[in-house]
Structure 1
Amino acid sequence: MQDNSNLSVLVIDPNPGMRGSLQNMLVQSSITKIEFAVNASTAIKQVGKRSYDLILCEYDLDGGGGSDNGQDGQQLLEDMRHHKLIGLSTIFIMITSEGVYSKVVSAAELTPTDYILKPFTVDMLSQRINRAIERRAVFLPTYNLIAQGNLREAIRSAATGEATHPRYVADFARLRADMHVALDELPQAEDIYSGILASKSIGWASLGLARVLFAQDKIEEAENVVTKLIEDNPKFMAAYDLLAKCHEMNGAAYRAQKILEEAVAISPHMVRRLRRLGEVALEAGDVVVAEKSFKQVVSRSKYSEFRDPEDHVKLVKTLLKKGDTNQAGSVIRDMEKSLRGNAAIDACKSISVALLHESAGNTAAAVTELNAAVAAVRLSKGLSSELKIGLARTCLSNRLDNAAAEVMLTVMNDVDSDVSMQDAMSVFVKAGRPDLAEGMNSRLMTQVQELLDLAAEKGNMGDVKGAVQTLLEAQHMAPKNVQVMVALAKAILRQLEDLGWDHPLAEICNTQLDAIRKIDPANPLLPGLTEDYHSAQRKYGIST
C-alpha cells in the first residue's frame, strides 16, 4: 500500500462542511498534513508562502454566493500557473459536479491533474490521489530537469518518456513542444504539435500550433487554426485571446474587440481578458466598452493579490477620452486611498493627475506632475513598459524632451522588458522627433560601452557572476551588437569554468554563439569560443 503520510495538502473550498468532510477522508487515507483556504485569494496567499504536494480545489469557489467575485477553480488554476505560484510537480485535483465537468474538460487549455466528480467516497478519493502520485513519478525526472533549467536534457528525458510510457505520449510530447518554444526553437515545436494533430484533434495542441505559427509571423495560418478550434469548441477560451491578437496584427482593432467581447460574454470573470478587452476597445475608439471593461477590472481586482494600480490609470485615460473629468478624479482618489503602500502608486497617481490637468488645459500643473511621475518611475520596480512608453509620449507632447528620453532609458535598462531598441526609437520618430531618436541611440551606445567596461573591471577583480549580469544588461540594450555577444559568451564560459555548469547560462552562451555565426560568421574569435563551449560540456559530462 502506498504511503502518503508525508504529503502536504491544501484544501480549497468555501463550504465548511465540505472542508471537514475532506479532512476526514484525507485522514482516513493516512494524510494529516492538511491546510485550508476558503477562496481564491486566501489560496493564493498560502501557495505564495509555501509549496504543497497536492491541492484539492472545489470548482465553484463562491459557493453560489458570489463571495469571490465569480472566480472558479479553473480560473484559480490558471492564475497560479500564470504567476508561477505552483510548479509542474504540484498535483492539482478539481472537485466538481458531472455537469460542470462535461463543460470544462475539453474547453480548458490548462487542465488539472485530475477531476473528482461529486459525490465520492474515501476509497475513490484515495484511488485518485494514488493515481496522481504514480503519474507524477513518471514525469518527475523530466520535471526536475526543467526546474534546473536543463531544457536540452529535459527534452531528451521527455522523448524517453514517450517511448517507455505510451499512455502518456501526448503529455510528454506537449512538454517537448513547450521546451522548444522556451528555447525559441519554433519550427521544432510546430512539428510536434502538427504530429499530435495528425492522429487526434486536441484543443491544446491546436492552440499550441496556432501560437508557434503566430510567433513565426504566420498570422494567416495561425488565424485559420484558431478559428477552426473555436468552431469545434466554442468554449475554449484561450483561443479567443489568440484570435484577437491575430486581428490586431492585421490592424483590425474593431474585429479584435468583438472577439474579446464574445469571449467575455461566455466567461465574464477572467480579469486578464477583461483588461485586454478594455485596451483593445480604447484603441478602437469605443470608450463605452473600454470604460465598462476597466471598471470591471478595477472592481474584480479589489481584493485580489494581483491588484495593479495601472488599471486605474487606464480607467482614468478612458474617462478623460470620454470627457468625464469628475469620474476620473474619483478614480484617482480611490487609487490613492485603496492602494496606499503599493510600490507603483506614486508613479501611477502622478501620471493620472498629469492627464487630468492636461485635459483641463492646465499645462503648468501637468508638467509638474509629469516631472514627479518621471522621478517616481526612476525609483519604482514592476511598472509595465506600456505605462512607461505612454508617459514618454505624454512628456513629448508637453515638450519635456529630456524627461521622455529618461523614461525610455528606464525601459531599455529593464532586462525584463521585451521592448527592442527599434521600438524605443520609433516612439520619438512617430512623435516627429527623429533628432531625439538619434540622441537616444547615442546615449544607449554610450551606456552599452560603460557596461562593457564595468564588466571587464568586474572580471579582472574575480567577480565573474557580476560580469555576466552586467553583460546581460548590455545584451538587452544592444541585442545585435557582436562586441557584446562575444564579451557575454566569454564571461559565461569563464563562470562555467570557475563555478560549475549552469544550464540556463550555458543555453544563453550557446544562443550568443549561434547569433554570432549568423551575423559575423568570419569573426576570428568564434572558433575559439565554440571550442571552449564544447570543452566545458565535455568537462562536466554534458550531452552534446
Structure 2
Amino acid sequence: MPEYSDLSVLIVDPNPGMRASLHNMLNLSSISKIEYAVSSGTAIRQLGKKSFDIVLCEYDLGSGSNDNGQDGQQLLEDLRLHKLIGQWTIFIMLTSEGVYSKVISAAELTPTDYILKPFTVDVLIQRITRAVDRRAVFMPVFHLVGLGNLRKAIANCGELELQHPRYAIDFARLRAEMHVTLEELAEAALIYQTILMQKPLGWAHLGLARCQYGLGRYEEALQSLDALIEHNPKFMAAYDLLAKTHVALGQAVQAKKILEDAVAISPHMVARLRHLGEVAFETGDVGVAEKAFKQVVAKAKYSEFRDPEDHVNLVKTLVKKGDANQAGGVIRDLERSLRGNANTDACRAIASALLQEMTGNLPAAAAELATAVTAVGTSRGLSTGLKVGLVHSCLKNKLDSQASELMINLMNDTDSGITTDDAVDVFEKAGRHDLAQGVGDTVARQVQELLSDAADRRSQGDLRAAVDVLNIALRKTPGNVPLLAAAASAILKQLDDLGWEAPLGERCGQLIERVRSLAPTHPALATLHAQYTATQRKYGISTTA
C-alpha cells in the first residue's frame, strides 16, 4: 500500500459517524493529518486559513434536509469561484444521492472524482492513489501557474507530455486553457481542434466553442454547441455558453428557452439560475424571472459568499410584477440576513428606492438613491450592471450630479469595462445631452493629463510606467486614435530598449492595426509599422514585411 503520511485531508461531513469511519479508512493508508468541517461554512473558513491536499466532501451537507444548508455541489462552486482551492487540490465528492439531477450538478463542476456510498476502504484508497499519482505528474505545471509564469508553464507542458505520453491529451488541455487565460484564443482554438481530430471529447468541443465566442465568431460557436448538445444532452456547461451566445446575438428569447431546458435537467447551479432570471427579466417574462431569482436567494442562503445583489434582482422583478408586499419582505430579509456584508447598505438602498418609486413616494425614492450612491463608494465587488442601473435610476429621479459622479467613477474603474462611449450613450439615450457632454469633457481632461504623465515618465526613462499609464487612458477611450498611436509608440520604445516581450509585441501589433482600421491615412501609421517591423527583425522575430 502506498505511503501517504505527508498528505493532509479535510473531511467535510455533518455526520459524526461518517467522519469517524472516513478517519479510520484514511488511517489504514497512513494518513493522519486529518481535520473536519461539519458544514460548508466551516469548510470555507478552514480552507481560507490553510490548504489541504485532499478534500473528502459529503454531497448532502444538510443531513437530508434541502433547507438546512449548502450541498457539496454548491460548496465546490464557491470554492472554485473564490479560488479557495487550487488546481492541485484533490476534491472527491462522496454521495449516496440517487437523484440523477443532483449527480449531474456535481459532475459538471468536475470534482477530481466522486464515489457512491457505501464504499470499502479499498475503493477509497484506490481513488486517492489514482488522484495522487496523476497530481504528481502535473505538479510542476501547477507550481508555475501558481507563480503566474504561464508561458513557462505552457512550455513545461510540452516537455512533460513527452515524458508521460498517456497524459498527452490532459497536457494539451492545460496548454489550451492557459492560452485562453493569456487571451490567445486563436492558439487555444488550434489546440482544441487538434484534440478533436484524435478524439471527439465533449470538453474539447466546449473549449473550441468558447474560443469561437471570445473571437466574436458567434455563428460558429452556435454550430459547435448545437452539435455538442445533440451528441451529449447532459453536458450542462454547453447550455450555459449556448445561452450566452444567443444573448450576444440579441436573441434573448432563445437564450431563455435554452436556460429553462438546462435548469430542468440540472436545477441546482446558482449561476445558471441567476442567468435565467436576468434573461427572463429582459424578455419581460416576470413569472420565470421571479421563480429563478427566488431559487437563487434560497439556494445561496447558507453560502459564506451570499450576494445581496440577488435580493435586488428579486425586488426589481417583484416591483415589475407590482407586488409591493413581497418586495418589502425581500428587503427586510436582506437587512436581517446580510447584516455586516460590505455591499448590503448599497443594495438595500437601491431595492428600497425601487419600492418607493413603485408606490409613488418619489422624494423617499430620491433619498434612498442618494444613500445608495454614497454607499457604492465604500462597497466591494458590486457588478457594473447594478451600478449602471443605479445611474439610470438617478437620471429618472433627476439626481443629475449623482448620476454623473457615479458614471465617472465607473469609467475610472479599470475593471468595470465602461468606456467614454458607453457613458455618453447612457446619457444620450436618457435625453441628457448636457450630461453626456460634461462627462466627455471630464474624460478628455483626464486623458490629456494621462498623456502628459506618460510623456514625463518616458522622458525620465521609466518606459514601463509610461506604457502602464497609456493603457489606463486607453481603457477610458479605446477608440482615441492619437492615444492608440502614442501607446504603440511607447511600447515600441520599451521593446527596443528593454528587450522583446511576446505579449507586449502582440499588443503593439494590435494597436497599430486598430489605428489602421480607424484612420487608414493617419500620418504616424507608416512610421509605426516600419518601427514595429524593424524591432521584430532586431530580435529575430519572423515577419513577412
TM-score, with length taken from structure 1: 0.86
- In structure 2, the residue matched to 1:431 is 430
- In structure 1, the residue matched to 2:484 is 482
State the percentage of identical aligned residues: 57
Measured in 2, the distance between the counterparts of 1:164 and 1:102 equals: 39
The within-5 A match list for 1:234-245 is 234-245=233-244
- In structure 1, the residue matched to 2:273 is 274
CA offset at residue 427 of structure 1? 1.6
Match of 2:510 among 507, 511, 515: 515
Match of 1:95, SS state, is strand
- In structure 2, the residue matched to 1:114 is 113
CA offset at residue 278 of structure 1? 1.0
Post-superposition CA distance 1:463-486 (Å, at most 9, x none): 999878766543432345336635
- In structure 2, the residue matched to 1:228 is 227
Larger mean CA deviation between 106-115 and 37-46 belongs to: 106-115
Match of 1:307, SS state, is coil
Unaligned runs of at least 5 residues, structure 2: 516-524
Match of 2:92, SS state, is strand
Measured in 2, the distance between the counterparts of 1:232 and 1:411 equals: 43
Measured in 2, the distance between the counterparts of 1:229 and 1:528 equals: 42
Q: For the Cα contact (< 8 Å) 1:29–1:122, is it kept in 2?
A: no
1:162 and 1:304, CA in 2 relative to 1: closer, same or farther beyond 3 A?
same
- In structure 1, the residue matched to 2:47 is 47
CA offset at residue 22 of structure 1? 1.2
CA offset at residue 23 of structure 1? 0.9
Match of 1:379, SS state, is coil
CA offset at residue 83 of structure 1? 2.1
1:62 and 1:206, CA in 2 relative to 1: closer, same or farther beyond 3 A?
farther
1:351 and 1:512, CA in 2 relative to 1: closer, same or farther beyond 3 A?
same
1:118 and 1:317, CA in 2 relative to 1: closer, same or farther beyond 3 A?
closer
Q: For the Cα contact (< 8 Å) 2:95–2:114, is it kept in 1?
A: yes
CA offset at residue 5 of structure 1? 1.9
Measured in 2, the distance between the counterparts of 1:530 and 1:378 equals: 47
1:102 and 1:373, CA in 2 relative to 1: closer, same or farther beyond 3 A?
closer
Measured in 1, the distance between the counterparts of 2:456 and 2:374 equals: 30
Instruction: Kindly indicate whether residue 92 of structure 2 is the aligned counterpart of residue 93 of structure 1.
Output: yes
Measured in 2, the distance between the counterparts of 1:492 and 1:372 equals: 46
Measured in 2, the distance between the counterparts of 1:33 and 1:514 equals: 52
Larger mean CA deviation between 57-66 and 156-165 belongs to: 57-66
- In structure 2, the residue matched to 1:28 is 28
1:119 and 1:156, CA in 2 relative to 1: closer, same or farther beyond 3 A?
same
- In structure 2, the residue matched to 1:82 is 81
CA offset at residue 391 of structure 1? 0.6
Larger mean CA deviation between 411-420 and 235-244 belongs to: 411-420
1:397 and 1:466, CA in 2 relative to 1: closer, same or farther beyond 3 A?
same
CA offset at residue 320 of structure 1? 0.9
Larger mean CA deviation between 450-459 and 229-238 belongs to: 450-459
Match of 2:377, SS state, is helix
Q: For the Cα contact (< 8 Å) 2:491–2:508, is it kept in 1?
A: yes
Larger mean CA deviation between 40-49 and 201-210 belongs to: 40-49
CA offset at residue 533 of structure 1? 13
CA offset at residue 98 of structure 1? 10
Instruction: Kindly indicate whether residue 159 of structure 2 is the aligned counterpart of residue 160 of structure 1.
Output: yes
- In structure 2, the residue matched to 1:250 is 249
Match of 2:5, SS state, is coil
- In structure 2, the residue matched to 1:19 is 19
CA offset at residue 398 of structure 1? 2.2
- In structure 1, the residue matched to 2:520 is none
Q: 2:508 corresponds to which letter in structure 1?
A: L
Larger mean CA deviation between 38-47 and 239-248 belongs to: 38-47
Larger mean CA deviation between 510-519 and 523-532 belongs to: 523-532
Post-superposition CA distance 1:437-487 (Å, at most 9, x none): 333222123223334555677899999998787665434323453366359
CA offset at residue 303 of structure 1? 1.7
Q: 1:206 corresponds to which letter in structure 2?
A: H
Unaligned runs of at least 5 residues, structure 1: 538-544
Q: 2:45 corresponds to which letter in structure 1?
A: K
CA offset at residue 434 of structure 1? 4.1
- In structure 1, the residue matched to 2:215 is 216
Post-superposition CA distance 1:116-161 (Å, at most 9, x none): 4444443443343233222112112221222222222222222223
Measured in 1, the distance between the counterparts of 2:129 and 2:374 equals: 55
Post-superposition CA distance 1:60-103 (Å, at most 9, x none): 4334332555x543443333222222111112223345978999
Q: For the Cα contact (< 8 Å) 2:15–2:63, is it kept in 1?
A: yes
Measured in 2, the distance between the counterparts of 1:362 and 1:244 equals: 38
Match of 2:57, SS state, is strand
Q: For the Cα contact (< 8 Å) 1:107–1:203, is it kept in 2?
A: no
Larger mean CA deviation between 480-489 and 45-54 belongs to: 480-489
Q: 2:165 corresponds to which letter in structure 1?
A: P
Post-superposition CA distance 1:347-368 (Å, at most 9, x none): 1122122222222222222222
Match of 1:419, SS state, is coil
CA offset at residue 528 of structure 1? 8.8
Larger mean CA deviation between 507-516 and 176-185 belongs to: 507-516
Measured in 2, the distance between the counterparts of 1:102 and 1:385 equals: 33
Measured in 2, the distance between the counterparts of 1:491 and 1:68 equals: 60
CA offset at residue 283 of structure 1? 0.7
Match of 1:5, SS state, is coil
Q: For the Cα contact (< 8 Å) 1:355–1:366, is it kept in 2?
A: yes
CA offset at residue 205 of structure 1? 1.2
Larger mean CA deviation between 388-397 and 329-338 belongs to: 329-338
Match of 1:35, SS state, is strand
CA offset at residue 490 of structure 1? 8.5
Match of 2:91, SS state, is strand
Measured in 2, the distance between the counterparts of 1:490 and 1:340 equals: 51
Post-superposition CA distance 1:302-322 (Å, at most 9, x none): 221111111111111111111
- In structure 2, the residue matched to 1:410 is 409
Q: 1:323 corresponds to which letter in structure 2?
A: G
- In structure 2, the residue matched to 1:355 is 354
Measured in 1, the distance between the counterparts of 2:203 and 2:187 equals: 17
Post-superposition CA distance 1:283-305 (Å, at most 9, x none): 11111111111122112222211
Q: For the Cα contact (< 8 Å) 1:107–1:235, is it kept in 2?
A: no
The within-5 A match list for 1:121-160 is 121-160=120-159
Measured in 1, the distance between the counterparts of 2:404 and 2:242 equals: 35
TM-score, with length taken from structure 2: 0.86
Measured in 2, the distance between the counterparts of 1:35 and 1:449 equals: 57
Paired residues in the alignment total: 528
